[in-house]
Amino acid sequence: MNLIKTSFTLIALCCLGLTGLNAQDRLSGRSFATRSEVLAQNGMAATNHPIASQIALDILKEGGSAVDAAIAANAFLGLADPAMNGIGGDLFAIVWSAKEQKLFGLNASGKSPASLSYAELKAEVDQGRSYRGGPLSITTPGCVDGWVALHEKFGVLDLDRLMAPTVSYARAGIPVTSEVADFFRTFEESVQKSDNPSFKKVFFTDGRFPGKGEILKNPDLAKTLEIIGREGRDGFYRGAVASTIADYVKAQGGFLTKEDLANNRPVWVEPVSVNYRGYDVWELPPNGQGISVLQMLNILEGFDMSGMPFGSAAHLHHFLESKKLAFEDMAMFYGDPDFGDIPLEELLSKKYAAERRALIDPAKAGEYHPGLSAGDHTVYLTVADKDGNMVSLIQSLSSGLGSRVVPEGLGFVLQNRGSGFVLEEGHINQYAPGKRPFHTIIPAFITKEGKPFVSFGLMGGDMQVPGHVQVVMNLIDFGMNLQEAGDAPRIFHSGTSARGGRVPGLGETFLESGFPYETISELMDKGHVIRMDKGIYGGYQAIMVKDGVYYGASESRKDGQAVGY
């Protein structure tokens, strides 16, 4: 039976490979390119919703900074794509300051409740409650603190001006886009069965999620954003909003308090980089997974990737092996640096990369272990302004619909980022009070000889790391333009090591349509387990700057667009 199943899988995958992923005929460019890059001199925005991109552009034209425009766009996405992000979630950003000619990193992820101990959480879970979703999964939302920190350092326009477009749209309503409607539909049955009136009051229309083209309103969110616009961080982390959040979470059996909210603070951090074939690729340090992007690139730099045709078995095999190696270290070492020693310097050294690279057999898929001894769902956007400032920003609720806990009258869902913890004593991501959980969301940036080159990101949980690496390789190794780098068929691997620890075996490789029959067959011969799936390959946005011109690109798999002026 397994042989028959494998044969049918191979036939299906080979059919996908033979048909390919082809856009319409174009005068130039790759066959999979869906559209041209957007070119402009004065400003650029790339988001996963056309209206968010338009709002960002309006802010730029009004004289707002790249950060102003990013905040305004992010606020709108919390209305338009509420299953993915919102003010109940966390935020990370990398900002290029044209004035200071340097990158700044912001970690605006919140901490676990200070009043909930490991023993208490373990006892709750032992009684059958989940910390993967619901009230126990709620950590302090860092998004608004992230907005305020970014705005204080790089903002120009008043915060209430940045909230105003979303306030207006939230009251008037917006049509639900195709991608959002599809996402809602995947959760329809489970939400229908739940006893969650506050959630349904905000997000349901006529007893269900709104469908494509139907109007979504959220007057409660409009009121909350108006408070944030007037009062800044205190409007969210203190006063009536904070009390409402804390009281509602407590009533639902959670532990987040007014003190947790009042004491929350984002952290400015130094971005970390490695040089990949003359380009410096930047990520943020843990508690996120960005360092594994840099580890993968260090390993791949030792191979002649440009000599392996894009989509060939050699290309995919070396990529997959480097991913498995990097994720072994992620499973052991990545977490809140305040709660464990993370050997960043050693993990990112070229010497260590060479040692790991030597483990790769070009003819066979391997199973790996960490090289040192031990001591979800998202939105991404990027904006650039007329002064040369650029921001790479990512924001998330963790899983789709977050914790599904919606405080009465506030119009947003709280995140379930506590699902990034593990209940394993001694693990770097072991739950502890007042601790930041492991995060999947990672913004990225590329510089060339100390100057900005590309601001980019790719949303989608565990897809983000391999997605970042694929974009970098597409640009640098395979000579694609910015739009092609995102349109190219993607590779996703899962099932060995990730934030929860390592799992024995080779895992599974998922391929988008577009890879040829020969590649699929050769990969299977090397021992890779090949599968097919949909909707798991992430969402990309990017801005490049070259000779004073901005190039914008937006994900063909999502609803958004890049716009400039």
Contact 560, 48 (CB under 8 A): yes
Give the chain's end-to-end CA distance (angstroms, integer).
Answer: 58
Residue 173's identity, in one-letter code, is G
Which residues 6+ apart lie within 8 Å of 489 measured at CB? 21, 32, 311, 511, 512, 513, 514, 515
| Of 551, 563, 564, the residue nearest 454 (C-alpha) | 551
Task: Say if strands 508-511 and 539-546 run parallel, antiparallel, or are unpaired.
Answer: unpaired
Q: Please give the Cα distance from 363 to 528 (Å, whole number).
A: 11
Which residues 6+ apart lie within 8 Å of 18 measured at CB? 516, 517
Q: Please give the Cα distance from 434 to 428 (Å, whole number).
A: 14
DSSP 299-315: HHTTS-GGGS-TT-HHH
Task: Say if strands 549-554 and 508-511 run parallel, antiparallel, or are unpaired.
Answer: unpaired
Residue 289's identity, in one-letter code, is Q
* Residue 186 a catalytic site member: no
Sign of the Cα pseudo-torsion (19, 21, 26, 29, in order): negative
Contact 460, 162 (CB under 8 A): no
Contact 488, 480 (CB under 8 A): yes
Q: Which of 47, 139, 378, 519 is catalytic?
A: 378
Which residues 6+ apart lie within 8 Å of 252 measured at CB? 134, 135, 405
Question: CA torsion 271→78→234→443, rounded to 10°?
Answer: 0
Residue 301's identity, in one-letter code, is E
| Phi/psi of residue 92, nearest 5 degrees | -135, 150
Q: Please give the Cα distance from 512 to 534 (Å, whole number).
A: 8
Sign of the Cα pseudo-torsion (506, 508, 512, 515, in order): positive
Catalogue the active-site residues. 378
